[in-house]
Amino acid sequence: MTRPLDGITVVALEQAVAAPFATRQLAELGARVIKIERPKVGDFARHYDTTVNGMSSHFVWCNHSKESLTLNVKQPEAKEILDRLLSGADVFIQNFGPGAIDRLGFGIDVLKEKYPQLIICSISGYGENGPYREKKAYDLLVQCEAGLVSVTGSEDVPSKVGISVADIAAGMYAYTGILSALIARSKTGKGSVLEISMLEALGEWMGFPLYYTKYSGTEPKRNGASHATIYPYGPFRTGGGKTVFLAIQNEREWVAFCEQVMQRPQLAADPRFATNSDRLANNRELQAMIDEVFSQLTAEEAIARLEQAKIANARLNTVQDFWEHPQLAARNRWRQVDSPVGPVPSLLPPVTMEGVEPFMGPIPEVGQHNYKILTECGYAEDTIRAWEEAGVL
């Protein structure tokens, strides 16, 4: 089976989440991803936890379908190997600290001159210049700097998003940027230089609160799981103690909600709730009315009414519930990938492409592909063994 990126080679000097998340998706499309790791210990994300039969959950998530090569990139021999790999590569991606790649002798200007065909992608916390260039950037801290934490959580307690959303945002823009650069290269024959910062990637996702704040003069309020500017849109408890989420998007839905879910058709004409702005301004009174009705219903009964009225709704699933979600099972979205500790399940990538089965290859051990990659580069096995003993690999 052919895949869109068959024949593309990616060399990744990567660690943690952002770059590995991007390159895993390139690998699923058929690219050969050579992941360069530290000798013996590897990517430090391998050691975040040991929950997946001894492996880190972050590492398992971001690193199937890759080949692992260990290099001590400060050693001259390792730099020679990296140089040889880049001469035949299509993409080079790195997310080391600010200036680290320059100190190794692989700065942007050097790479552009030596490898004109190469697409060079750098991911950083705050960008390659500016006063925050040297500032350490971890996901929570970037969420804070981007204002995301200020609009997330309850009225009293600001909260981080429960997943590494700044890393994910940067990884997604690196992934799509590299795909765009490959298309551009097919037209011009030349590589590109891409720069992605976690702050700016997450800043793009902050568009609604940015515009709302700029032009209203007020910050969006933290409302827990409720929407800041639409009502009713959020959680409501039912008589059985379970929580049901619902979302009203327009006046047609509001009328249907009043008639079929609340079974109070006169409520649709109440001037206190005539528009979304009115409902938001009088949300306490409206919530009391909804709570009164929902307290007499089980979660199943409330959802049945919402479904009949074609009102968007959801159950409050746990992560375990999502793992067992019937929609994922019905659509056959799970696959098994091999790993050093045996097969582990992995979700298929979200984009389903007709006639293309994503590559769902193994999760590599540290340095598992040293001999394979280096012999392909023309190095003799005794040379490779000597490098291992000397700490080059």
Please list the active-site residues. Answer: 227
Phi, psi of 114 (to 5 degrees): -80, -35
Query: Could you tell me which residues are beta bridge partners of residue 246?
Result: 234, 313
Q: Are residues 144 and 153 in contact, defined by beta-carbon separation less than 8 angstroms?
A: no
First and final C-alpha spacing in the chain: 34
Tokens of 119: 């697409």
Asked whether 90 and 183 are in contact (CB, 8 A), the reply is: no
- Show the CA angle centred on residue 271, arms to residues 270 and 272, nearest 5°: 90
Sheet harboring 312-315: ordered strands across?
233-237, 243-247, 312-315
Tokens of 110: 């050097």
Say if CB 178 and CB 171 are below 8 A apart. Answer: no
Find the helix or strand (DSSP H, E) in which 297 lies: none
**Residues found in the chain:** 393
Q: Which residue has the tokens 């990139």?
A: 73
Residue 30 in contact with residue 21, Cβ under 8 Å? Answer: no
Contact yes or no for 163/236 (Cβ under 8 A): no
Which of 179, 182, 188, 148 is closest to 166 using CA atoms? 148
